[in-house]
A = this chain, B = another copy of it.
């Protein structure tokens, strides 16, 4: 397996981008990469997107976007894994370069959600769940996560305020990210008084959607060895779990997160202690908690302890969502996995200013599809 590096990244602010078409949105981070690298030809394009077929009446995004960005005759496909579509596209691009089949691959994640009415988007998001046993029963994603959170609180004896620190941290970091949708700091008070979405999940537990796009250019490591801005992909692993939460023996244990994290650690020859920052999938504070436990950063049932002191701040022991995460940056679903990669690359390049993790050398990202049904873990390293 040939080693692979990320040569460059691009991203656009997550927002309500009503003035941009799906193409313009997807093209922008790629054109940033072309401009920064002077790249003029490209072997392949991998597009991460979940719902453009229904939300934008456009499928075939591989060819569609390759055409728009001028990637003449490049191979191009669309990869979908619900909210983990971005990381799935990144990993497919990685495999193509690692196999030796191509020497350059763009992975671009894009999602344009705010043109559609909220009930439609909620229904479309639910196509990531089990159509027969979850979606048709009215179990939206927030409902499924509310059930998980309630059960977690009951099983391990936590009160709601224990989760506040996760949300406060995300917003504190997002303030400094020009690409974040929600750039205002919040207090514990804000969290505790936030409107309820689906008890016990309130507005501050849940990531907001948005329109966005982010991209990464992957090349063989041997071609960029020694180049400071090129970041090595040291680990990449994916695993699945049952599609329906009710089918799991232990719904509070994300076995796909455990499996993919462990495989990524083995590949990168690291342990959780070596990770300098973790861009995790904080779609809901409960999923953040379960991800931390399954990935080996906290004991089972003790994830919220991490949110209690400064451990997850950029200067803490295990910095989380250093650019705001899904919560404050926003969660344009198919793009999220690529935003995480872009943010991890920026940290390893040391260009994150006020939220820079001191001496960051190893970063981990984790992108989750469905209620823990599909988990992609990546470990990136400075060369």
> Would you call B127 and A75 a contact (CB within 8 A)?
no
On chain B, the residues within 8 Å of A54 by CB distance are 53-54
Binds B, one of A151-159, A234-242, A303-311: A234-242
On chain B, the residues within 8 Å of A370 by CB distance are 60, 63
> Would you call B88 and A95 a contact (CB within 8 A)?
no
Contact of A62 among B51, B81, B100 (CB under 8 A): B81
CB of A139 to closest CB in B, whole Å: 14
Near B by CB (< 8 A), chain A positions 50-83 give: 50-51, 53-54, 56-64, 66-67, 71, 73-82
Near B by CB (< 8 A), chain A positions 171-201 give: none
8 smallest CB-CB distances across A and B, nearest first, come from: A75-B238, A99-B99, A1-B100, A60-B82, A98-B99, A59-B127, A63-B373, A60-B128
State the CA gap A322–B149 with chains docked (Å). 56
Q: Is A361 an interface residue (CB 8 A)?
A: no
A-B contact pairs, 5 of them (CB 8 A): A51-B53, A56-B131, A63-B240, A73-B255, A92-B92
Contact of A243 among B53, B60, B243, B244 (CB under 8 A): B60
On chain B, the residues within 8 Å of A98 by CB distance are 99-101
> Would you call B81 and A130 a contact (CB within 8 A)?
no
Q: Is A256 an interface residue (CB 8 A)?
A: yes
Near B by CB (< 8 A), chain A positions 9-51 give: 21, 44-45, 50-51
Q: Is A369 an interface residue (CB 8 A)?
A: yes
> Would you call A79 and B82 a contact (CB within 8 A)?
no
Number of copies of this protein chain within its complex = 2
> Would you call A77 and B92 a contact (CB within 8 A)?
yes
Q: Is A259 an interface residue (CB 8 A)?
A: yes
Which residue of B is nearest A82, CB measured?
B60
On chain B, the residues within 8 Å of A51 by CB distance are 53, 59
Q: Is A164 an interface residue (CB 8 A)?
A: no
Q: Is A318 an interface residue (CB 8 A)?
A: no
Which residue of B is nearest A88, CB measured?
B77
Contact of A239 among B58, B74, B101, B236 (CB under 8 A): B74
On chain B, the residues within 8 Å of A50 by CB distance are 59
Most chain B CB inside 10 Å of its own CB: which residue of A61, A95, A374: A95
Which residue of B is nearest A259, CB measured?
B73
Q: Using known A-B contacts A1-B99, A1-B100, A60-B370, determine if residue A240 contacts B78 with beta carbons closer than 8 Å.
A: no
On chain B, the residues within 8 Å of A60 by CB distance are 80-82, 127-129, 243, 369-370, 373-374
Main secondary structure of the interface of A (DSSP, over half): mixed
> Would you call B67 and A243 a contact (CB within 8 A)?
yes
Contact of A81 among B77, B127, B243 (CB under 8 A): B77
Q: Is A204 an interface residue (CB 8 A)?
A: no
CB of A4 to closest CB in B, whole Å: 9
State the CA gap A373–B44 with chains docked (Å). 14
> Would you call B240 and A67 a contact (CB within 8 A)?
yes
State the CA gap A145–B299 with chains docked (Å). 60
> Would you call B80 and A80 a contact (CB within 8 A)?
yes
Q: Is A96 an interface residue (CB 8 A)?
A: yes
CB of A180 to closest CB in B, whole Å: 27
State the CA gap A73–B96 with chains docked (Å). 22
On chain B, the residues within 8 Å of A76 by CB distance are 81, 238, 240, 374
CB of A62 to closest CB in B, whole Å: 5
Q: Is A349 an interface residue (CB 8 A)?
A: no
State the CA gap A205–B129 with chains docked (Å). 39
